[in-house]
Amino acid sequence: MLPTDGDGVPDAAGIRDEVVEALVMFVRALRRAGVDVPANAGVVGAQALVEVGFDDEDRARAALRAALVTRAEGVETFDRLFGEFWRRLAAHLDGDANDALDDAPDGALAPLGAESAPSDEAAETAAAEMEPGDDWNDGDLPLVRSAIEPGASDGQETDSTTATYSPSGRPETVTVDVGALIDDDPLDAAVDRLVGSLASLRGRRWRRAGSGERADPRRALRQSVATGGTVASLPERARRETAVQVAVLADVSQSVLDVVDRGFLLRFLRTLTARVRRSRVFFFDSDVRDVTTAFDEPTTADAVRALERAETSWGGGTRIGHAVETVRREHSEAIDRRTVALIVSDGLEMGDVAGLEREMTWLASRSRGVLWLNPLAANPEYEPTPAGMAAALQAVNGLFAFIDSRDILEIARQLEQYGIGGRIGLEYDPRRRQKTTRPDTKTKP
């Protein structure tokens, strides 16, 4: 945690936005869960947090409960969701906020109750950085492109497509036309960049660096002892880059297979597996299958053949909570603090939503971070309102679109720029923002 003054108030202006954002997300999660949270509760909650400080989880819980909850019925839900809020907040304060602390010139926490609009800046910055050809289309923005739609696979865009899916589905053996699995350079490049962005995630520890990003005052002081208190040279330091492992939980239920290019999904998994140091891949629909070994094959075609040989099935119903629970119970070694969990799913949970929420909280607390890749989110009108998606969102570091290599590039770009604990996700995707700001966007009169 950050250094604090006598009252436990963080002594850093730079964390203000992070605290506000975590609080806003928490308030949203409470409202989605049915808790009656007053309109001004976020401001009061921020004031309460500043009063009690950030050192003691129990004090913070009591303070926020007093500020955000107005009915006894909401207390249990609040307590259930608070853990994830605190984990997210602690991650901000422990990790990225240290940077802000070093940069903070005056060391005072700005009033949290005041209005702030931090969220749009990132998207604006990203939009400004986009290359001219990076936008989705010159005309209408893309909607969900499905492998079952004619023309989707050869790059043609479709208009106003509504994804169709089967909520339950019937499992079938994995079959893909191997001949269609041609090399895809853009995807390879995108996955390379994604892996690079994950592998370049900085840990909390510092390392000595010849030309680091920060001065190392402690080392300078130690060295100055030998020169009678004179600092002869200013040593520098940089964050250690930690090795990142990846665990992919790929939803292969019928509802996902209906909207995602199966070849793209398999190529992505194969390329990702080949490029990270350690990976685990699980297929899930209504059951969970560990298919890691299949993706150890040298090519995607070989991986598909391996899946076929193993009679791996897909196309069942969607039970995301059950899948995470199974991983927790039977493959818990697949997830640790160095593992980035990637969930490829449309979030259309057909199982117990409360169970999904519980399991996602476990996954978030156990892993380095959770990224949710949602094929449906490629639609610029998409909002994460389905019950399962909404329940899981509070434990997710970032929700992203997942339909082609450009989505992978966008994930990588955000990770490179803001890190996995930063403000990343669909809301910061400039392509969505462009949709609302483009002057030539056609709207109905």
Partner 1 sequence: MTDEPSATAGRDTTESTGFDDVSEDELRAAFEATDYVADDDIVTTVLLALRLGRPLLVEGEPGAGKTELAKVLATGFDTELIRLQCYEGLAAENALYEWNYTKQLLAVQADERGVDDPDASVFDEEYLLERPLLQVLSAGGDRPPVLLIDEVDRADEEFEALLLEVLSDFQVSIPEFGTVEAETQPVVIITSNRTRALSDALKRRCLFLHVEPPSFEKEKSIVERKVPELDGAIATELCAVTQRLRQEPLRKQPGVAETLDWARAIAQLRADDGTGPLSPAEIEHTIGCLLKEVDDVERIDEAMLETLTEAAQRARGNE
Which of 39, 128, 225, 226: binder of partner 1 (CB under 8 A)? 39
Contact range with partner 1 by CB under 8 A, out of 33-41, 245-253, 296-304, 358-366? 33-41
Can residue 44 be called a binding residue for partner 1 (CB under 8 A)? yes
Can residue 227 be called a binding residue for partner 1 (CB under 8 A)? no
Encoded one letter per residue, x for contact with partner 1 by CB under 8 A and - for no contact, window 72-111 reads x--x------------------------------------
Can residue 67 be called a binding residue for partner 1 (CB under 8 A)? yes
Token digits of residue 195: 């892996």
Q: For residue 418, which of 389, 395, 390, 398 has the smallest C-alpha distance? A: 398
Can residue 243 be called a binding residue for partner 1 (CB under 8 A)? no
Can residue 5 be called a binding residue for partner 1 (CB under 8 A)? no
Minimum distance from CB of 16 to partner 1 (Å)?
A: 18
- Our CB check for partner 1 shows the closer of 111 and 139 to be 111
Neighbours of 92 (CB within 10 A): 22
Helix/strand/coil (H, E, C) string of 351-400? CCHHHHHHHHHHHHHHCCEEEEEEHHHHCCCCCCCCHHHHHHHCCCCEEE
Minimum distance from CB of 51 to partner 1 (Å)?
A: 5
Give the CA count within 13 Å in the CB-facing half-sphere of 206.
18
Q: Is 105 exposed, middle or buried (0-12, 13-18, 19+ CB in 10 A)?
A: exposed
Can residue 114 be called a binding residue for partner 1 (CB under 8 A)? no
Which of 3, 5, 62, 180: binder of partner 1 (CB under 8 A)? 62
Question: Which is it for strands 369-374 and 398-401: parallel, antiparallel or unpaired?
Answer: parallel
Size of site (CB under 8 A) for partner 1? 23
Q: Strands of 369-374's sheet, edge to edge?
A: 288-290, 279-284, 245-251, 339-344, 369-374, 398-401
- Our CB check for partner 1 shows the closer of 32 and 61 to be 61
Which of 9, 20, 33, 69: binder of partner 1 (CB under 8 A)? 69
Can residue 47 be called a binding residue for partner 1 (CB under 8 A)? yes
Which of 5, 51, 172, 383: binder of partner 1 (CB under 8 A)? 51
Can residue 225 be called a binding residue for partner 1 (CB under 8 A)? no
- Our CB check for partner 1 shows the closer of 72 and 226 to be 72
Distance CA 320, CA 298 (A): 29
198 within 8 A of 275, measured Cβ to Cβ: no
Strand partners, 241: 202
Question: Which is it for strands 313-314 and 172-173: parallel, antiparallel or unpaired?
Answer: antiparallel
- The residues that touch partner 1, with contacts defined as CB under 8 A, are 36, 38-41, 44, 47-48, 51-52, 58-59, 61-63, 65-67, 69-72, 75
